[in-house]
Structure 1
Amino acid sequence: MSYLDENAIPLSIDLYELTMGASYHALGMDGRATFSLFVRSLPPGRSFLVVAGVEDALRRLENLRFDERALEYIATLPQVRPDFVEYLRSFRFEGDVWAVPEGSIVFPNEPVLEITASIIHGQIAEPVVMNALHYPTLVATKAARCVLAAQGKPLFDFGLRRAPEIDGGLAAARACYLAGFSGTSNVLAGKVYGIPVVGTMAHSFVESFPNERLAFEGFVSTFPHRITLLIDTYDVLMGAQHVVEVSRKFAGTGKQISAVRIDSGDLEALSRQVRKLLDSEGLQDIRIMASGGLDEYEIDRLLRNGAPIDSFGVGTRVVTAEDAPVLDMSYKLVQFDGRPKLKLSEGKRTIVGAKQLWRRIDTTGLYAEDMISGREEQAPDDGEWLPLLRPMMKAGRITESFDLEEARRQHAREVERLPSHLRDIHSVGEYKVTLSSQLQERQRLAEEMIAQEEGLAAKPQR
């Protein structure tokens, strides 16, 4: 869901969508076209991607209009023909969309979303859907890796302050929750998406009191329940001792400290020392949360080394997808007026036609391989294959209902079905993706046709 002014959405496109649209319109080119969105290659260190942002993409398309203010501005652009500005006055996206469900796991060159519409509508949709999918997919993939590393321990999104704008913070919180995080610090995300909202305190609260113990007493006395105290403002072990003292003071009052948070220092060593101190004072029920510069690698290291940490607050490195901040995501014309279309550029060859994505499940219930076929093809007959692309929009109207909780559960089931070598965050696993024999032949014929029409020597398929 975007909190941008809705009037900004139609102008959040690249100028060349308008210049191409104006040319199509002037030339009378209004045939049906299919565009395919996919990721050419995985970022470094990734074995799979987690798709997020599909719902937002569809809602943007459904509400895409050019109001008077937008048209007035477009009319000032010398690159856009006046007759096309008039065409846009009655514009409403009227295409069909097939997409994989939110939370799906996908691999390189697989169709994530395909649009079939008049070529003008399909062209204008490009930045709308790419912008909706790119960032959430980056974050969801990073978050899913953190979930794998956490071994079932709760993770919480703390990334709002360093997310790209308010909309970015919302998208990140949703993507993290979709991928298995347990909650977010982002209050707006709680309101909009129903994500559990969590919060502790900042160091400034402690610093504003004469001393740390008074700060803890003040917070406990005013906070209603599930109290978490931040203990690393001055000295972690002294902070833990203050927690013991404050816990005793409020014993029997209904005010119970449920957790402490360590946000800096040697988290492994400090968590051990704090756990030992709390346990020695009979406070085994107080949990330890760690935060501060965490990602999947640090979480994995801490837990492999036996750090007694019960939950993690994760922010900057996830919402910025720090180690892999961009996807090679593309949106390409693959069919127009009933004819296959493609690029032949070196390293950027595209797969023709409207497609379906099939996934085979082996006898143990794990994912074994994927196959890309023509949209009209039936399931292969050599095992259990699941179709991933679903019709989600018809004639510009959303036909699929969206439930974030169900998408979250579905994503968890997908992760459980991943082979172990793809779940390993420290290595890049290979996964088999092929084209159906029919699609291979269609691709071969299309490449030969284009090469002949353009006077090129036929290029071998890669």
Structure 2
Amino acid sequence: MNRVQSKRRSSLLSRPALYTDYYELTMAQGYFLAGRKDEQACFDYFFRDIPFDGGYVIFAGLADLLSTLENFKFHEDELEYLANQGFRKSFLEYLSDFQLKADIHAAKEGEVVFPRTPILRLEGTIIETQILETLLLNILNFESLIATKAARMKHAAGDHKVLDFGLRRAQGLGGIQASKAAIIGGVEATSNVYSSFVHGTPASGTMAHSWIQSFDDELTAFRKYAEYYPENCILLVDTYDTLGSGVPNAITVAKELEEKGYKMKGIRLDSGDLAYFSRKARRQLDKAGLEYVKIAVSNQLDERLIKSLRSQDAPIDLFGVGTRLVTGHESPALDGVYKLSAIDDEPKLKISENIEKNTLPGRKKVLRYSDNDGNFYGDGILLKDEKNADTIFHPFYPAKHADVTSFNAEPLLHNVMQNGTVNIDLPTPTQSADYAKKRLVKLNPEHKRFENPHIYKVGISQKLMDLRDELTQNFK
């Protein structure tokens, strides 16, 4: 990110203190009135289920979360609002001087992550850790969902480019986060000019049908566009008759550009049978000696449709994705949760009738195990003070376990905020995308397939399992 772009970049919310659920504040006031404001708490952020019936998630949103927390304070008019809501004067006086002093350990943005593995650990006073819950979940859940969807689309597209066209179909201003997260997931560019301006990501776009309709005829519309954008000319060819007029008129304009020393970049198809029309269009272009002209397609694309088009050997060079990317089509939310694991030095856990909703107690760390080629084998969840583990056990079915002594171990969580101060250089979306790409290479192919992906190993250490079992017995 250059200096100009860094000046543009600001926090996602300039005033984030009230971007929360009401009960976070009532609990915070309760802790204060009970004299517990200085108690130290630890919360874990993780998710239970992988969206899109997939095999992995791309962690995104960390940079937005950290930049937002840098501006965390309660303003006078916000305190007046809370007073009108009935909050106590003594609590509001406490909030007026509130300063964030929390510590955060988190996976790197762009990391490949899996169910039940703590992705972020937040430690601080019980009040600050409680107040931050909703903000944290809102940002991380959404951006990780969209980054994951984008990664799946890019995986389906292979070496072909994928562009984000989704702003007009996004849920309000969430389109800004969606376009950023899509870049992290591997999309090469976005039509979202605002997101591009703020984050320094590549912007791209062509024309709409209305441009062509506004002229008396299609050929004139094409010629005018080529006149104004000779070096970046991509023509939309399906306004009237794709093969009867659209592609032939595009060929005419491409030849005229050649005479002027330019090469037309491509054509775009936005309707109909994309495999059929792309093949027919490719033949017409090649017959005219325009092998260099690319074919772009759009229209309700997702990873499965992209995969289908490629399996049909459709001669498509670029995929424009929109609605099904920015809305997380088929899985509208990541079920990330934020659970208390310790108060002061006392480990805590939640017990549920559904065993898979039982939480893991204590302050923890995560080790990622890889083979000598760097390929991911599994994640081990250990107590914070453990150096390593010889064996990791399935969190709920300990008969399933794995010896990890022959694997290399790397810590997954890194200190990103100390005493309320961000202590890393916040990554740009492009930097996070580069990291995600490198990490996905290390994930075995069976975890990336769309049909019945292999389940990635996530286990807990013997000591963590013993602590959980001991605490569970104490509640019976």
Shared fold (TM-score, shorter chain, > 0.5) = yes
What CA distance in whole angstroms lies between the structure 1 residues aligned with 2:204 and 2:287?
28
User: Quick check: 1:208 aligned with 2:208?
Assistant: no
Unaligned runs of 5+ in 2: 1-8, 391-404
Write the mapping of 1:322-341 to structure 2, written as runs, cut at 5 A.
322-341=329-348
Out of 29, 49, 52, which is 1:41 matched to?
Answer: 49
Instruction: Give the 5 Å matches for 1:124-163.
Output: 124-163=131-170
Alpha-carbon spacing, 1:88–1:112, altered in 2? closer, same or farther (3 Å): same
Q: Is the 8 A contact 1:60 1:128 kept in 2?
A: no
In the TM superposition, 1:4-403 aligns within 5 A as: 6-7=14-15, 9-29=16-36, 30-78=38-86, 80-166=87-173, 168-237=174-243, 238-347=245-354, 348-380=357-389, 382=405, 383-403=407-427
Q: Deviation digits for residues 77-128 of structure 1, max 9, x if unmatched? A: 12x2221111110112110000100011111111111110000000001011
Q: Distance in 2 between matches of 1:259 and 1:265?
A: 18
Amino acid at match of 1:240: V
Q: What's the % identity of the aligned pairs?
A: 38
- Tell me the SS of whatever aligns to 2:433: helix
The alignment's TM-score, normalised by the length of structure 2, stands at: 0.92
Asked whether the 8 Å contact 1:221–1:255 carries over to 2, the reply is no
The structural deviation recorded for 1:363 is 3.4
Distance in 1 of aligned mates of 2:387 and 2:375: 22
Distance of 2:280 and 2:57 partners within structure 1: 38
1:439 positional shift? 1.1
**Contact map agreement 2:164 2:189 (CA 8 A) in 1:** yes
Specify the alignment match of 1:454 in structure 2.
none
**1:35 alignment partner AA:** F
Structure 1 position 324, deviation (Å): 0.8
Q: CA deviation at 1:427?
A: 2.4
Q: Using the alignment, how far apart are the partners of 1:16 and 1:335 within structure 2?
A: 20
Question: Aligned equivalents of 2:13 and 2:374: distance in 1?
Answer: 45
Shift in Å at residue 375 of structure 1? Answer: 1.7
Q: Kindly tell me: are residues 5 and 419 of structure 1, through their superposed partners in 2, closer, same or farther at Cα, counting changes over 3 Å? A: closer
Task: Quote how far apart the aligned CAs of 1:379 are.
Answer: 3.2
One-letter amino acid matched to 1:426: E
Q: How much has 1:194 moved relative to structure 2?
A: 1.2
Q: Give, as a single letter, the amino acid of the residue that structure 2 aligns with 1:226.
A: N
Match of 1:410 among 435, 439, 442: 435
CA contact (8 A) 2:162 2:188 kept: yes
Aligned residue for 1:326, secondary structure, equals coil
C-alpha separation in 2, matches of 1:102 and 1:371: 19
Instruction: Confirm or deny: 8 A CA contact 1:149 1:425 kept in the other structure.
Output: no
Q: Output the CA distance in 1 between the equivalents of 2:13 and 2:473.
A: 47
Q: How far did 1:5 drift?
A: 5.7
Q: Which residue of 1 aligns with 2:402?
A: none
Letter of the 1:340 counterpart? P
Residue 274 of structure 2 aligns with an amino acid whose one-letter code is: L
Q: Secondary structure of 2:32's match? A: helix
Query: Cα distance, 1:229 vs. partner?
Result: 0.6
Segment of structure 1 superposing worse, 100-109 or 56-65: 56-65
User: Do the aligned residues in 1 keep the contact of 2:59 with 2:140 (CA within 8 Å)?
Assistant: yes
Residue 2 of structure 1 and its aligned partner are, at CA, apart by 6.8
8 A Cα contact 2:103 2:124, kept in partner: yes
The amino acid that maps onto 1:200 is: T
Q: Given that residues 35 and 331 in structure 1 are in contact (C-alpha distance below 8 angstroms), is that contact kept between their aligned partners in structure 2?
A: yes
- Contact 2:278–2:315 (Cα < 8 Å) also in 1: yes
Q: How many angstroms apart in 1 are the aligned matches of 2:69 and 2:195?
A: 22
Q: TM-score normalized by structure 1?
A: 0.94
For residue 43 of structure 1, report the CA deviation from its aligned partner. Answer: 2.8
Instruction: Return the alpha-carbon distance in structure 1 between the equivalents of residues 442 and 57 of structure 2.
Output: 14
- Residue type matched to 2:464 in 1? L
Given that 1:220 and 1:255 are in contact with CA atoms closer than 8 Å, whether structure 2 keeps it comes out as: no
Shift of 1:225: 1.9
The separation in 1 between residues aligned to 2:319 and 2:83, in whole angstroms, is 51
Cα contact 1:393–1:399 (8 A) shared by 2: yes
- What do you get for the CA RMSD once the two structures are aligned? 1.4
For 2:380 and 2:461, the matched residues in 1 are separated by 6
Amino acid at match of 2:465: Q
Q: Distance in 2 between matches of 1:435 and 1:23?
A: 34
Question: CA contact under 8 A between 1:203 and 1:230: conserved in structure 2?
Answer: yes
How far apart in 2 are the matches of 1:37 and 1:192?
27
Deviation at 1:178, TM superposition (A): 1.0
User: How many residue pairs align between the two structures?
Assistant: 448
AA of the residue aligned to 2:411 = P
- Are the aligned partners of 1:61 and 1:128 in contact in 2 as well (CA < 8 Å)? no
What is the alpha-carbon distance in structure 1 between the residues aligned to residue 436 and residue 51 of structure 2? 20
Gaps of 5+ in 1: 452-456, 458-462
